[in-house]
């Protein structure tokens, strides 16, 4: 009798675990990617200024808000179209992406932004991966050349913002631009790009982290001496608070550093960032972070779907490099995020929101711009995460 009781108890426990697991596994990435492709097809038609890039959706005016190619996000729309073309084979998406490359091409010579990595690698990088054309390679190499003009060897970093000559501001977001530099060394054999990427990452590793493991958004260095002049709140709530997308860029950036270098210190840092995020007392149970983990008005502060999407995509790469037990946990975090983003709470209704896939991101809360909106980079990293998840479950 006692034995039967124990058996029933174990059966109950395991069925609870399985129910929980089934709930987490409920996202079908192929279905979500097909829905996203349909949305982007709609977005193509909604773009009434054919020479502009979607930026966000203006709910009051019920129309897409757009930018020119210089905006830091210009590469995400073509990048997402390339991903969705790969998933669906729909030529209209591919052709639209190629059309956007034409509008972006001139940015290869843009030396005024560190965001050229986002702009060109998410667009031309994906184009080259799908169809390796020499002209794409040339654009990317020129873009990498433009980016390294911003390197200061005394500081050991690429300059992020353009301010007065006595300021040298570096933001954590800049880690994302290093992928272009690693690619450039692999493509050309010239180690200059790789060496600058490693130096930038090492300086960031040394200076950008607080003792609790969280990441500063910005540091203003003295360009003559490399000394830290002061820290900057940037898009975070305060100078000392953990701006969620900044933590997300760090997680993704240091995971990517490990992919290229196989240096364990970057892997350790990526794991530390993940542990910081998922053990933070203000991380909501659905893992869609508030725009800043110390934002005022928690639990009523705005959530940032873009940070969640970036974290999710990063985790799906990071789990590949970890021991089996940690990997299972990180995949479960990612599955939870995907299941929430794919729900009607975050996924825009078909044929609405100008064709954006996700709602509820925060671009820049302190400047009161892009609060609770759709954003191209939220969609890009969400679609990337769905692709990575589809590959993961397909490989099992
Ligand atoms: N500066 C890039 C971002 O808003 O995350």
Cβ of 245 below 6 Å from ligand 1? yes
Indicate whether 131 belongs to any domain.
Answer: yes
Which pLDDT does position 254 carry in this prediction? 99
Residuewise pLDDT in 10s, the chain (396 residues): 344 444 444 344 434 444 444 445 589 999 999 999 999 999 999 997 889 999 999 988 899 999 999 999 999 999 999 999 999 999 999 999 999 999 999 999 999 999 999 999 999 999 999 999 999 999 999 999 999 999 999 999 999 999 999 999 999 999 999 999 999 999 999 999 999 999 999 999 999 999 999 999 999 999 999 999 999 999 999 999 999 999 999 999 999 999 999 999 999 999 999 999 999 999 999 999 999 999 999 999 999 999 999 999 999 999 999 999 999 999 999 999 999 999 999 999 999 999 999 999 999 999 999 999 999 999 999 999 999 999 999 987
R_g of the chain computed on alpha carbons: 21
Active-site amino acid positions: 115, 173
**Which ligand 1 atom is nearest residue 364's CA?**
4
CA 234 to ligand 1 centroid distance, Å: 9
Q: Which of 76, 245, 376 to mutate to test the pocket of ligand 1 (most atoms within 8 A of CB)?
A: 245
Ligand 1 proximity of 173 Cβ (cutoff 6 Å):
yes
Q: How many domains does the chain have?
A: 1
Residue 133 lies in a domain: yes
Please tell me the residue having the least CA distance from ligand 1 atom 4: 363
pLDDT of residue 323: 98
Q: Crossing angle of helices 178-188/192-207, nearest 10°?
A: 150
Give domain status of residue 115, yes or no.
Answer: yes
- The answer to whether the peptide bond before residue 299 is cis (omega within 30 degrees of 0) is yes
89 found inside a domain: yes
Q: Closest residue (by CA) to atom 1 of ligand 1?
A: 173
Cα-to-centroid distance, 41 and ligand 1 (Å): 26
In-domain check, residue 350: no
The whole-number pLDDT of residue 48 equals 79
Residue 71 lies in a domain: yes
**Domain that includes residue 134, residue range:** 47-149
pLDDT at 18: 42
Angstrom distance (rounded) from CA 88 to CA 35: 10
The alpha carbon of 307 and the centre of ligand 1 are apart by a number of angstroms equal to 10
Query: How far is residue 165's CA from residue 169's CA, in Å, rounded to a whole number?
Result: 10
pLDDT at 25: 52
Residue 105 lies in a domain: yes
Domain membership of residue 142 (yes or no) is yes
């Amino acid at each position: 009798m006692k034995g039967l009781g124990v058996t029933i108890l174990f059966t109950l426990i395991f069925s609870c675990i399985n129910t929980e697991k089934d709930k987490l596994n409920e996202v079908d990435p192929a279905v979500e990617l097909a829905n996203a492709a349909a949305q982007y097809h709609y977005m193509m038609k909604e773009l009434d200024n054919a020479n502009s890039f979607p930026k966000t959706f203006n709910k009051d005016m019920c129309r897409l808000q757009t930018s020119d190619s210089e905006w830091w996000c210009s590469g995400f729309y073509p990048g997402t179209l390339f991903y969705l073309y790969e998933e669906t084979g729909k030529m209209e998406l591919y052709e639209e992406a190629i059309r956007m490359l034409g509008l972006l091409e001139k940015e290869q010579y843009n030396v005024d932004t560190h965001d050229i990595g986002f702009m060109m690698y998410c667009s031309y990088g994906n184009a080259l991966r799908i169809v390796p054309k020499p002209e794409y390679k040339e654009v990317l190499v020129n873009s990498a050349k433009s980016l390294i003009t911003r390197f200061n060897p005394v500081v050991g970093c690429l300059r992020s913002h353009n301010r007065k000559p006595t300021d040298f501001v570096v933001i954590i977001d800049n880690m994302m631009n290093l992928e272009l530099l690693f690619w450039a060394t692999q493509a050309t054999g010239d180690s200059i790009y790789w060496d600058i990427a490693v130096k930038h990452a090492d300086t960031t590793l040394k200076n950008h982290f607080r003792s609790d493991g969280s990441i500063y958004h910005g540091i203003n260095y003295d360009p003559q001496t490399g000394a830290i002049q002061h820290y900057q709140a940037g898009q975070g709530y305060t100078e000392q608070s953990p701006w969620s997308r900044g933590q997300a860029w760090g997680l993704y950036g240091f995971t990517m550093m490990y992919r290229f270098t196989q240096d364990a210190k970057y892997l350790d840092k990526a794991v530390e960032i993940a542990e910081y995020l998922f053990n933070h007392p203000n991380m909501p149970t659905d893992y869609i972070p508030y725009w800043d983990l110390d934002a005022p008005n928690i639990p009523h502060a705005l959530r940032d779907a873009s940070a969640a999407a970036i974290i999710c995509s990063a985790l799906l790469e990071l789990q590949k490099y970890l021991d089996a037990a940690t990997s299972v946990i990180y995949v479960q975090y990612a599955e939870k995020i995907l299941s929430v983003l794919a729900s009607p709470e975050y996924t825009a209704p078909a044929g609405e929101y100008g064709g954006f896939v996700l709602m509820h991101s925060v671009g820049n809360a302190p400047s009161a711009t892009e609060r609770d909106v759709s954003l191209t980079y939220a969609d890009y990293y969400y679609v990337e995460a769905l692709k990575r998840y589809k590959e993961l479950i397909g490989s099992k």
